[in-house]
């Protein structure tokens, strides 16, 4: 998704803006641009990577100390220089950048054309600029408020306004934005990594707030134009979280950070063998909690399916798992005795946020499992459990996924204990198993070498299947998504028992299949399924618990992972699946961290 930066200070703005955009590259983009206010506003924007923009900026060398910048992930109009941001209004009143989608932009555009406005681009963003221009009454903030009243959809907008040469203005609804407070300089950004090198003192902008920053001042206005108090929070994310720390890719670093991510996540939740959640469920839940929804997208959705297997078995409450983009439109049956859990690394995924809002309107208690502090989903949930995985930069999630799993384990045990299905002693045993996971994940990472070797074969393939049963099944979905989203190899995750209902027709000599088989109760059936595909010439890579006997007789390759409670095995089986995806992508010479067409945070529908 698009990234926005803004700067007001005494240093040249251009280098700071471009450095900030580089720290937002992981969000995915196809063009970039900046606008600098020095002796007049200079706009420089280019299609493609930020290096292209850097080249043009070096040639022009804009001197201003105030500016805005943008990386664009095309939604309306081709990813070209004309459609790149910033966009300047016809009369030069405003130059702005925008992240989000204006849903009524055509209606507004037609109206402005009738009023004589000429448009240069196909974007919805230029409509905001022309509308602001049309409504401009000499006061930047009142015009911003009037403009916002006309807009439908999502937006985070930063702008330079004629006559306000020492300020940057901004507003947001549904798309993320933060203000960074410096010493004699202030910043705007879509996300924390962009401002980390300069400050950790931030204000998280809320929907319906209007921002005015100068080098020594930050002002926040509400929709009535009243000034609000600026609550500065200190974000304790270290800069190294946004650096590679010696790894070739962020994804490699983040795979290896998983032991620490899991420990940092569960440690605050478990005290002396007891579980302490950071919020209270409604008292009524003790007797009346009758259904749980887990709603998310992508890998976070796979967390939901994993949670279903664990919670239903441990807590004996039905768990409905929904893809957020479906949940929000299917008129779900939700009431006050339902718990709705929203899982999101970024805390900004549009469909998940919309689903959260839908559930709240319908009276459910909402909790979220989120990695980015103070993100919108976190702030709008009734309760939030943070996965303290640190900034996750690679588009393909790994450490946040593992941290989310660990929260599900703790939550499941908590709910089982609340229902009297787990004794204090059983909780102590289970939580001690959870606290052993970081060490076991570290051991599981020892399969790095074998996965690197296997990747050379997988990289030659165009298709791959992942099959499993029980709690291994959602991990097959995750392994499939990891491999396909970064290596571009078509993959499918399948319930092993389902193969015979159609997909086995695709299995032919040389087809690569990863078979995940860690559930003792289903192991015999998995061996049968492996034999079925092996008989048709498949090349089978088995992922099993250490000590699993006889597997070498039926599979071509075997990856052993450490043993743990059956409920905790996902934290261990996911490691070889992540490493297979990583090494295969490196083998194919592709960009592991920034796969084509993808964004780290999907903040539009
Ligand atoms: C995961 O590797 C993908 N990048 C993607 O599926 C991601 O999980 C999904 O977009 C949800 O993002 P979120 O967790 O930030 O809401």
Measured from the Cβ of residue 335, the count of other Cβ atoms closer than 10 Å reads 11
CA distance 605 to 594: 20
Are 468 and 523 in contact by the 8 Å Cβ rule? The answer is no
Specify the ligand 1 atom closest to the Cα of 298.
Answer: 6
> What is the pLDDT at residue 49?
84
pTM for this structure?
0.74
Is a pLDDT exceeding 90 seen at residue 75?
no
What domains can you pick out in the chain, each with its CATH number? 3-235 (3.60.20.10), 240-435 (3.40.50.10490), 443-590 (3.40.50.10490)
Is a pLDDT exceeding 70 seen at residue 320?
yes
- Residue labelled with tokens 């009758």: 290
Catalytic residue among 2, 447, 476, 491: 2
Is a pLDDT exceeding 70 seen at residue 506?
yes
Ligand 1 pocket test target in 176, 294, 345, 384 with most atoms within 8 Å of CB: 345
Look at ligand 1, atom 3, and give the residue with the nearest C-alpha. Answer: 396
Look at ligand 1, atom 9, and give the residue with the nearest C-alpha. Answer: 298
Ligand 1 pocket test target in 26, 349, 488 with most atoms within 8 Å of CB: 349
Helix (DSSP H) and strand (DSSP E) numbers for the chain: 20, 27
> What is the pLDDT at residue 603?
78
Helix residue ranges, H only, 362-422:
376-380, 399-418
Residue 600 annotated to the active site: yes
The mean pLDDT of 224-241, rounded to a whole number, is 84
The alpha carbon of 65 and the centre of ligand 1 are apart by a number of angstroms equal to 36
> What is the pLDDT at residue 235?
82
Bigger pLDDT: 344 vs 3: 344
Are 378 and 347 in contact by the 8 Å Cβ rule? The answer is yes
The alpha carbon of 289 and the centre of ligand 1 are apart by a number of angstroms equal to 28
CA distance 270 to 431: 7
The mean pLDDT of 294-308, rounded to a whole number, is 98
The alpha carbon of 300 and the centre of ligand 1 are apart by a number of angstroms equal to 6
The alpha carbon of 400 and the centre of ligand 1 are apart by a number of angstroms equal to 10
Look at ligand 1, atom 6, and give the residue with the nearest C-alpha. Answer: 298
Specify the ligand 1 atom closest to the Cα of 482.
Answer: 2
Nearest to 518, CA basis, from 472, 567, 457, 580: 472
Where does ligand 1 bind, in terms of residues with CB under 6 Å?
Answer: 297-300, 344-346, 349, 352, 395-397, 485, 601-602
> What is the pLDDT at residue 240?
63
Look at ligand 1, atom 16, and give the residue with the nearest C-alpha. Answer: 344
The alpha carbon of 137 and the centre of ligand 1 are apart by a number of angstroms equal to 42
> What is the pLDDT at residue 236?
75
CA distance 279 to 250: 32
Distance set, CA 248 to CA 43, 198, 251, 393, 476 (Å): 34, 25, 9, 13, 26
Are 180 and 195 in contact by the 8 Å Cβ rule? The answer is yes
Residue 525 annotated to the active site: no
What angle in degrees, to the nearest 10, is found between the helix axes of 125-135 and 105-114?
50
Measured from the Cβ of residue 188, the count of other Cβ atoms closer than 10 Å reads 30
Specify the ligand 1 atom closest to the Cα of 400.
Answer: 14
Specify the ligand 1 atom closest to the Cα of 296.
Answer: 16
Tens digit of pLDDT for each residue in 148-177?
A: 999 998 899 999 999 999 999 999 998 889
pLDDT band for position 340 (50/70/90)? very high
Look at ligand 1, atom 4, and give the residue with the nearest C-alpha. Answer: 396
Is a pLDDT exceeding 80 seen at residue 604?
no
The alpha carbon of 248 and the centre of ligand 1 are apart by a number of angstroms equal to 22
Is a pLDDT exceeding 80 seen at residue 27?
no
Is a pLDDT exceeding 90 seen at residue 28?
no
Tens digit of pLDDT for each residue in 513-530?
A: 999 999 999 999 999 999
Tens digit of pLDDT for each residue in 88-123?
A: 999 999 999 999 888 899 999 999 999 999 999 999
Distance, first Cα to last Cα, the chain: 11
The alpha carbon of 388 and the centre of ligand 1 are apart by a number of angstroms equal to 16
Helix residue ranges, H only, 419-549:
424-435, 437-444, 448-458, 472-487, 523-534
The alpha carbon of 299 and the centre of ligand 1 are apart by a number of angstroms equal to 5
Ligand 1 pocket test target in 27, 73, 298, 351 with most atoms within 8 Å of CB: 298
Phi, psi values for residue 524, rounded to 5°: -60, -40
Ligand 1 pocket test target in 297, 381, 387 with most atoms within 8 Å of CB: 297
Is a pLDDT exceeding 90 seen at residue 391?
no
Tens digit of pLDDT for each residue in 419-478?
A: 999 999 999 999 999 999 999 999 999 999 999 999 999 999 999 999 999 999 999 999
Instruction: List the structure tokens of 32.
Output: 């970039």
- Residue labelled with tokens 């005494």: 10
CA distance 393 to 333: 36
Look at ligand 1, atom 7, and give the residue with the nearest C-alpha. Answer: 298
Tens digit of pLDDT for each residue in 251-275?
A: 999 999 999 899 989 988 998 889 9
């Amino acid at each position: 998704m698009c990234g926005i930066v803004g700067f007001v200070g005494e240093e040249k703005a251009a280098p700071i803006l471009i450095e900030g955009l580089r720290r937002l590259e992981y969000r995915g983009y196809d063009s970039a641009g900046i606008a600098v206010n020095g002796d007049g506003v200079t706009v420089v924007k280019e299609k493609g990577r930020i290096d292209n923009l850097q080249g043009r900026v070096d040639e022009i060398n804009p001197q201003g100390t105030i500016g805005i910048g943008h990386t664009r992930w095309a939604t309306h109009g081709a990813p070209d220089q004309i459609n790149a941001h910033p966009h300047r209004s016809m009369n030069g009143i405003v130059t702005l950048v925008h992240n989000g989608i204006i849903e009524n932009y055509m209606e507004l555009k037609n109206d402005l054309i009738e009023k004589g406005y000429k448009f240069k681009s196909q974007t919805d963003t230029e409509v905001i600029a022309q509308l602001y221009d049309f409504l401009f009454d000499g006061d930047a903030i009142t015009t911003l408020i009037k403009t916002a009243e006309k807009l439908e959809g999502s937006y985070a907008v930063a702008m330079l306004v004629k006559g306000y040469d020492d300020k940057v203005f901004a507003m947001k609804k549904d798309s993320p934005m933060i203000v960074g407070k410096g010493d004699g300089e202030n910043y705007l950004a879509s996300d924390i990594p962009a401002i980390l090198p300069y400050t950790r003192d931030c204000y998280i902008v809320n929907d319906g707030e209007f921002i005015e920053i100068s080098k020594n001042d930050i002002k926040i206005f509400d929709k009535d134009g009243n000034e609000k108090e600026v609550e500065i929070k200190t974000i304790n994310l270290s800069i190294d979280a946004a650096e590679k720390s010696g790894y070739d890719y962020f994804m490699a670093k983040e795979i290896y950070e998983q032991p620490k991510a899991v420990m940092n996540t569960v440690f605050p939740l478990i005290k002396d063998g007891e579980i302490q959640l950071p919020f209270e469920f409604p008292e009524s839940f003790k007797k009346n909690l009758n259904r749980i929804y887990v709603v998310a997208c992508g890998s976070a959705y796979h967390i939901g399916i994993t949670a279903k297997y664990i919670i239903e078995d441990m807590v004996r409450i039905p768990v409905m798992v929904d893809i957020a983009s479906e949940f929000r439109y299917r008129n779900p049956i939700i009431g006050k005795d339902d718990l709705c859990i929203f899982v999101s690394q970024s805390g900004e995924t549009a469909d998940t946020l919309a689903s959260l809002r839908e559930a709240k309107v319908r009276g459910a208690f909402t909790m979220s499992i989120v990695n980015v502090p103070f993100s919108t989903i976190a702030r709008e949930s009734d309760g939030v459990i943070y996965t303290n995985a640190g900034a996750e930069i690679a588009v393909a999630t790994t450490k946040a996924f593992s941290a989310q799993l660990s929260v599900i384990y703790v939550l499941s045990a908590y709910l089982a204990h609340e229902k009297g299905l787990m004794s204090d002693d059983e909780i102590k045993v289970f939580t001690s198993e959870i606290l052993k996971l970081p060490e076991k994940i570290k051991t599981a990472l020892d399969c790095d070498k074998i996965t690197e070797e296997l990747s050379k074969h997988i990289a030659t393939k165009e298709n791959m299947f992942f099959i499993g049963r029980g709690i291994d099944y959602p991990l097959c979905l995750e392994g499939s998504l990891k491999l396909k989203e970064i290596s571009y190899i078509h993959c499918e995750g399948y319930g092993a028992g389902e193969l015979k209902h159609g997909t086995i027709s695709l299995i032919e000599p040389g087809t690569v299949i990863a078979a995940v088989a860690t559930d003792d109760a289903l192991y015999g059936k998995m061996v049968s399924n492996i034999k079925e595909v092996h008989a048709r010439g498949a090349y089978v890579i088995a992922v099993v618990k250490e000590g699993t006997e006889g597997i070498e007789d039926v599979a071509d390759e075997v990856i052993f992972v450490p043993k743990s409670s059956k409920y905790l095995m996902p934290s261990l089986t996911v490691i070889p699946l992540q490493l297979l995806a990583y090494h295969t992508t490196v083998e194919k010479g592709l960009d592991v961290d920034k796969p084509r067409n993808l964004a780290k945070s999907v903040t539009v529908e």
